[in-house]
Amino acid sequence: MSDEYRLVPGPIPTTKRATVYAQILQDFLAGKAQTARVEMRRKPTTLYIGLNNARKTDDRFASITVHQRGGEIWLKRA
């Protein structure tokens, strides 16, 4: 062990964006719509990637698919 640094064990904090995407997916699951368009002030590709990453990292969202069509992002129940 060095006097210049120390290693502190602990979990990596989640980012706020990740929780935003997970919240969108959670709200979609709570609703009754089979498909829904997501409107958000983000580039469509950024939104698509964020939603897909949130879907892949949480098994609760396995029944949702994310689609990008003509600059719009859609959620669909599988």
The proportion of the chain whose per-residue pLDDT surpasses 90, expressed as a percent, equals 82
pLDDT at position 51 = 96
Domains in the chain: ranges and CATH: 16-77 (1.10.10)
pLDDT at position 77 = 95
Q: How far apart are CA 36 and CA 33, in angstroms?
A: 7
Residue whose tokens read 């959620």: 75
pLDDT at 16 over 80: no
pLDDT at position 59 = 94
pLDDT at position 46 = 95
pLDDT at 65 over 90: yes
pLDDT at 60 over 80: yes
- Cβ neighbours of residue 10 closer than 8 Å, sequence gap 6 or more: none
